[in-house]
Amino acid sequence: MSEFVKDWEEDQLIRQVIAPVAADLSNDTAVLHPQAGHDLLISSDALVEDVHFLRRAPAAWVGQKAVRVNASDIAADGGSPRWITLSLSLPPDLPVRWVREFMTGVAAACSELGITLVGGDTTRAPQHIAISITVLGDIPHGTAITRSGAEPGHLIAVTGPLGDSFLGLGVMLQQTETPADTHKRLLQRHFMPPDRGPFARAAAVKRLVSAMMDLSDGPATDLPRLCRASGVGARIDLEHLPRSNDGIKYLDPLMLPGCGEDFELLLTCPPVHREALVALATEKHTPLHFIGRCTQEPGVAWRLQGRTVTPAVGWHHFSKSSPKTNTDR
């Protein structure tokens, strides 16, 4: 039996490599049953070779990341991810071994997060691997947290630390030199973002947060999105952005807002809920850091030690001026 995708029939690849990780794939349409009294949440995300990952990266880690970054969107609404569909575009010269290892990572992430693979598609790609996942989740009716609920005076917080995924990307691209133990830790952080779902779901049910999203493109890009949706501005103290010991060693505070793919939570809360939110974060073993406050004035003011500064820009997919936060930069 050949080891390359080009020598396998599509049905054979699905039956032998993908189906063992999924629910019943005998039909083209999945029939799902959300819980009574719950709203359905849907989100989609894509990972493309040489943009989000390199082929030399462990395929199982790529599978983990593909599931986890999609589940993060559902968690950021306060919901529970339940099902995913997975579409793979595979170049003919790709070893089937890569697909097997990728599906091992998908299976591990689904098992940990309580997700079931219920369908998808496979197709030929001319050169690069492309992965597309749609995640469906649910949430008790009327409790979803959006980006649009922040008000002037509300506190701004993040889970953290931030920047370690950016450092892991630097390790993968051989742009950051680190000791061996640090090397592996940062790579794993880049491919396996933490699950903040338990904290987010509890915060949503208790109505402790007014707006929430995940940090996929970096605070410098994502915070303005939240502010625009809510019709507020923000003032941020850069010294309050959380860094790990690795981040303190390798990242300047001005770089931190431009670091993407942490998939931590960015949230706002009324000051009256601060103590309850801190207590909940402690209960859920989730690091929580207050970094600023929403303002009436539009725009984001970044401050460092009392001075207004201009930090690194965040990631924009179609901008040549974006920093080297993705593999195609």
Q: Can you tell me the distance from the alpha carbon of 131 to that of 127, in angstroms, rounded to the nearest whole number?
A: 13
Say whether 217 counts as a known binding-site residue. Answer: yes
The tokens of 285 are what? Answer: 């073993």
**Which of 281, 269, 285 has its CA nearest to residue 212?**
269
Say whether 45 counts as a known binding-site residue. Answer: yes
Say whether 7 counts as a known binding-site residue. Answer: no
Say whether 44 counts as a known binding-site residue. Answer: yes
- The letter for the amino acid at 53 is F
CA angle 19, 133, 162 (to 5 degrees): 125
**Which of 54, 184, 182, 64 has its CA nearest to residue 112?**
64
Residue 64: strand pairing partners: none
Say whether 73 counts as a known binding-site residue. Answer: yes
Say whether 315 counts as a known binding-site residue. Answer: yes
Say whether 195 counts as a known binding-site residue. Answer: no
Q: Can you tell me the distance from the alpha carbon of 136 to that of 115, in angstroms, rounded to the nearest whole number?
A: 9
Say whether 121 counts as a known binding-site residue. Answer: yes
Say whether 147 counts as a known binding-site residue. Answer: yes
Say whether 97 counts as a known binding-site residue. Answer: no
Say whether 43 counts as a known binding-site residue. Answer: yes
264 neighbors 187 (Cβ within 8 angstroms): no
Say whether 261 counts as a known binding-site residue. Answer: yes
Q: Can you tell me the distance from the alpha carbon of 278 to that of 202, in angstroms, rounded to the nearest whole number?
A: 12
- List the binding residues for ATP: 120-121, 147, 216
- List the binding residues for Mg(2+): 28, 43-45, 73, 121, 214, 217
- List the binding residues: 28, 43-45, 52, 73, 120-121, 147, 214, 216-217, 261, 315
- List the binding residues for substrate: 52, 261, 315
